[in-house]
Structure 1
Amino acid sequence: MDSVDKRIKKSYFWKIYLESIDFEKWLLMALNLSSIGCFLKNGKYPTKFICLVIKLHEFKPSFSMIKEFIKNDSNLIIRLLGAFYIRLYYRPLLIYKLLEPLYYDYRRVPVQIDHSKTKMICVDIIIDSLLNKTYVMGIKLNSLVKRLNKSIKKYI
């Protein structure tokens, strides 16, 4: 994750808009995002979405705040900001517990493919990728322990 952080923090968007931003301005930017995505041009340019996820980590949000992000039914981008944050920074049991309910969100969200291209993808497909794939939108994720038991509530 460190090399991803370095690439993001060297980006124009980060240096101009995010380097010294406070949480209120961050939230306004997040609410105005029109698509999700991680990197463009073979990992060379980070999207605004992944820059905002990394900046969120610098704010050290509370667990309850992140839960509110993923519960947000009215804004898919905020929901997915929370989902990416959880997948990048939480432990496996919490990742499964918090992200699996999002499998039932079949709405479509624009995913930025190139500077001028987006592709509509269902939220459940994105969540499945976050839970089951090693690379998601150009970011290598930590391996998750495979679930052997469907009931994880007793461990949390």
Structure 2
Amino acid sequence: MQFSMAAKLDYVAGTYGGRRRPARFLCLFLKLLQIQPEEDVVLEYIKQPELKYLRALGCAYLRITARYPTIFQTFEPLFADYRKLRYRDMYGKISIIHMDEFVDWLLREETVCDVTMPQMPKREILEQTGMLPPYQSVLEDDLEDLEDLERSLQELQGAKDAKDAAGKKEEEKPAEEVVPPAASSSQVAEPSKPRKDRREEDDASRDDGRGDRDRDDRRDRRDDARRDRDRDRRDRRDREEEAAKRKRHEDREDREERREKRDKKDKANRGDDDRAKKDKANRGDDDRAKKDKAKTKDDERKSKKTKYANKADEERASGHAKKDKDGLSVEEWNEIRKEMGLKPLK
């Protein structure tokens, strides 16, 4: 199932989009880290010539899990793989890279497809410790064939130039030298000199051709090295710019998220403050109502006290007086007691 899903990959990517959605390549890569297949199985993934994205997936997993000599010995032959790969950056934009470029990323870069790679020692250190043999370029045979071809072409060109020069000298000779009227022994031996000169000129032209070829080779190597440095510098600059853009994008998203949280918190606090103010206002209204009611009652009591001297006056003012159990009031009893010569009731 894992192999069939990896065979359906159509681009290389880590995360992309505003919400940093993980790509299928990254999901399968993390799944491999989860199930931890054997190293032989991963090497079989890399050896698949038809499935280039499966090879890229196997290389990424091997870079994380394998030993350093195994990584170098497995990756170096892949520098001759120039097939195109589709790469999706963090903004979702599709660009074209090559397999050898992706392998070079795995060996040189700290982060590939949003996965931090473990640090690796330089190849020279592994060569000094005897863990790796000296580096041999996969293009060395092609370079030797190219040098042999250039050498043969230059030799042919030198021979042609020498032949043309000899023909021109033959045309410039006087007629008497070409067909002498009386050939002596000294005159017969004379034509051997131009052939010797031609051989010397041929040797000199070949030496010059070899010198020119060596200079051309050195110049071509310098040009290739300069182009490689320029490409590495350009790729490094592009990656730095992309990392800076990604960081700015993440910072902007973090700021927006923090601003949204702050706005929500402020809104909730404002709602709490409004409710507290309303509750306080309601409590103030209740307190004022209670105070007004109590004040009204006090005013009523004060007005009653100032209006009547005692309770009897108040009862008389109200039109009735308190009567005892016999039906006589206090005033009536006082009248009776006065007639009897007794003290009045209080």
TM-score calculated relative to the size of structure 1: 0.74
Q: What is the letter of the counterpart of residue 132 of structure 2?
A: I
Instruction: Write the deviation string for residues 69-99 of structure 1: whole angstroms up to 9, x where unpaired.
Output: 1111101011011000001122222111111
Name the SS of the counterpart of 1:144 in structure 2: coil
C-alpha spacing 1:108/1:43, structure 2 compared with 1 (3 Å): farther
Question: For the residues of structure 1 that align with 2:97 and 2:43, how far apart are their CA atoms?
Answer: 23
Q: CA deviation at 1:114?
A: 5.0
C-alpha spacing 1:124/1:42, structure 2 compared with 1 (3 Å): farther
Instruction: Write the deviation string for residues 95-134 of structure 1: whole angstroms up to 9, x where unpaired.
Output: 1111111111001011122575311101101101100111
Counterpart contact for 1:43–1:138, Cα < 8 Å: no
Q: What is the letter of the counterpart of residue 78 of structure 2?
A: L
Tell me how many residue pairs correspond in the alignment. Answer: 130
Instruction: Write the deviation string for residues 7-60 of structure 1: whole angstroms up to 9, x where unpaired.
Output: xxxxxxxxxxxxxxxxx2x22211111111112248933211011011012222
Q: What is the letter of the counterpart of residue 68 of structure 1?
A: E
Tell me: higher relative CO, structure 1 or 2? Use CA pairs within 8 A at least 6 residues apart: 1
Greater strand percent: which structure?
Answer: 1
Moved more, 125-134 or 42-51: 42-51
Question: For the residues of structure 1 that align with 2:80 and 2:123, how far apart are their CA atoms?
Answer: 19
Question: For the residues of structure 2 that align with 1:107 and 1:60, how far apart are their CA atoms?
Answer: 28
Name the SS of the counterpart of 1:87 in structure 2: helix
Q: Say if 2:124 is the partner of 1:124.
A: no
Q: What is the letter of the counterpart of residue 60 of structure 1?
A: Q
Q: 1:97 aligns with which of 41, 63, 73?
A: 73
Counterpart contact for 1:97–1:153, Cα < 8 Å: no
Counterpart contact for 1:87–1:130, Cα < 8 Å: yes
Name the SS of the counterpart of 2:12 in structure 1: coil
- Structure 2 counterpart of 1:17: none
Q: What is the letter of the counterpart of residue 131 of structure 1?
A: L
Question: For the residues of structure 2 that align with 1:153 and 1:94, how far apart are their CA atoms?
Answer: 12
Q: What is the letter of the counterpart of residue 28 of structure 1?
A: S
Q: What is the letter of the counterpart of residue 104 of structure 1?
A: A
- Structure 1 counterpart of 2:315: none
Q: CA deviation at 1:152?
A: 1.4
Q: 2:44 aligns with which of 68, 93, 105?
A: 68
Question: For the residues of structure 1 that align with 2:61 and 2:49, how far apart are their CA atoms?
Answer: 17
Name the SS of the counterpart of 2:50 in structure 1: coil
Q: What is the letter of the counterpart of residue 115 of structure 2?
A: I
Q: What is the letter of the counterpart of residue 31 of structure 1?
A: A
Unaligned runs of 5+ in 1: 1-23
- Structure 2 counterpart of 1:152: 132
Name the SS of the counterpart of 1:120 in structure 2: strand
- Structure 1 counterpart of 2:15: 39
% identical aligned pairs: 27
Unaligned runs of 5+ in 2: 135-346
Name the SS of the counterpart of 2:43 in structure 1: helix
Counterpart contact for 2:88–2:94, Cα < 8 Å: yes
Q: Say if 2:24 is the partner of 1:52.
A: no
Q: 1:78 aligns with which of 49, 54, 73?
A: 54
